Amino acid sequence: MMTRPLSVAVAGLGTVGAGLLTLLRDNAEIIAARAGRPIVVTAVSARDRSRDRGVSLDGLRWYEDPVALAADGQADVVVELVGGSDGPARALVEAALAAGKPVVTANKALLALHGAELARAAEATGATLAYEAAVAGGIPAIKALREGLAGNRIRRVTGILNGTCNYILTNMREQKREFADVLAEAQKLGYAEADPSFDIDGVDAAHKLAILAALAFGRPVAFGDVHVEGIRAVSALDIRLADELGYRIKLLGIAQREEGGIATRVHPCMVPASHPIARVDGVFNAVVAEGDFVGRVVLEGRGAGAGPTASAVAADLIDIARNRQTPVWGAAAAALDGEPALPMAQHHGAYYLRLMVLDRPGVIADVTATLRDHGISLESMIQRGRAPGEAVPVVLTTHDCHESAMRAALARIGALEAVLEPPALIRIESL
């Protein structure tokens, strides 16, 4: 017998909100079967009432103020698709949890910055806070880590977590074009925002990594501990040289358990061309988890867009309809681990360095002497062509060394008169 429908209030009717309404209508029958009862949107809130969103809003209760949805007595669940780490989105989620009402959100910034307080608020009233859609779009990365791999000690989580960056790097490689050129085209095609800094400077990926790291290692979410670099400095030359060395350049988020704590970092990486993550191209995302019993698990799919994100929201709504509940971060707040965060200066790994130097005798000797003085040993060196008196690229790859030593060496190398621009550094990840 069918029980009463689950009544859903949706705040935010952008691409994802409209996609969710479409999905819940188009797939109503299979969703009802999987949820044990129908799931129906009954109330909505959005900025512009008159805009045509390609989906009928007839018969839905309409609220000008999204926060008012929390107080709608007929709504069983609130879905927050407004976005932003503060303002109406935060106010709505806090009000709904305080009222004991389950919340489904796609808001990674909110969770990365305020996830610890929100989890405590959810725990206090017993309300669910679900966020499958906040990380990697349609990929069930949250469920995989929190539920599917719950029996494992996770060693590392690695992800391509931003489709815009992956699209730009893929096109730079395939079309041999420069960053600025590909970014401008991506903006024209709608793959990149008018202000793309959140994406290309790595902040969006870092929000998502902070969430994955909290789940993987059972610790409070800590966005401030994530080391963040974006892709503005990656050049077409670096991408070509990476290919020659057997690598692909990807913007990765990496969270790993190391001696003494947890390291979380987002930056461009050279990954071996043979690794599964190296072949994830275009707007696709990937999440790779490594557990002590399961080994390596690779999840790949679309990281954004109406369909994939709505798919993730619907999965959370089905869990709520079935009364399936998991603590926000996989364990109760009191059971979360206070393992320390490791600073980037303690990172230990191999590096790719590209220098633009004046082609004259003794320059390479000065560079290698500086590296030697800092205890850094070279694995390979590529110097292409000679052009006496002009600038030529010199590429060095190192054996594993400490980030702090590399930074000190780079400061000295950058100050050499014959080195004409700041050295380019990309970390090599063996994965």
CA distance 117 to 123: 10
Report the number of secondary-structure helices (H) and strands (E) in the chain.
13, 17
Measured distance CA(58)–CA(426) in Å, rounded:
53
Pairing of strands 129-130, 103-105: parallel
Give CA–CA dist 23/306, Å, rounded.
9
Residue 380 CB burial class (10 angstroms; 0-12, 13-18, ≥19)? exposed
**187 contacts 230 by C-beta, under 8 angstroms:** no
Entry pTM: 0.95
State the catalytic residues.
208
To which H or E segment does residue 15 belong? helix 15-26
Angle (CA) 154-160-166 rounded to 5° is 175
| 117 C-beta neighbours (distance < 10 Å), count | 14
- The DSSP 8-state label assigned to residue 342 in this structure reads P
pLDDT at 388: 81
The architecture that CATH gives domain 147-302 is 2-Layer Sandwich (3.30)
Taking only the tens of pLDDT, the chain with its 431 residues reads: 458 999 999 999 999 999 999 999 999 999 999 999 999 999 999 988 778 888 888 889 999 999 999 999 999 999 999 999 999 999 999 999 999 999 999 999 999 999 999 999 999 999 999 999 999 989 999 999 999 999 999 999 999 999 999 999 999 999 999 999 999 998 998 888 888 999 999 999 999 999 999 999 998 899 999 999 999 999 999 999 999 999 999 999 999 999 999 999 999 999 999 999 999 999 999 999 999 999 999 999 998 889 999 999 999 999 999 999 999 998 888 888 778 999 999 999 999 999 999 988 888 999 999 999 999 999 999 887 777 888 899 999 999 999 999 999 999 999 999 999 999 999 999 88
**Which is it for strands 391-398 and 154-160: parallel, antiparallel or unpaired?**
unpaired
Strand partners, 398: 378
pLDDT confidence of residue 1: 47
pLDDT at 55: 87
Q: What is the CATH number of domain 6-134?
A: 3.40.50.720
Residue type, 63: Y
Q: Roughly how many angstroms between the first and final C-alpha of the chain, as a whole number?
A: 51
CA pair distance 397, 368, nearest whole angstrom? 11
- What was the pLDDT predicted at 231? 97
Give domain limits for the chain: 6-134, 147-302, 346-428
pLDDT at 339 (0 to 100): 84
Distance separating alpha carbons of residues 312 and 133, to the nearest angstrom? 5
> Residue 84 has what DSSP assignment?
S
Domain at 346-428, CATH from 3.30.70.260, 3.30.2000.10, 2.30.38.10, 3.40.190.10: 3.30.70.260
pLDDT in the model for residue 2: 56
Cβ atoms of 62 and 45 closer than 8 Å: yes
Question: Facing residues of 202 across strands?
Answer: none
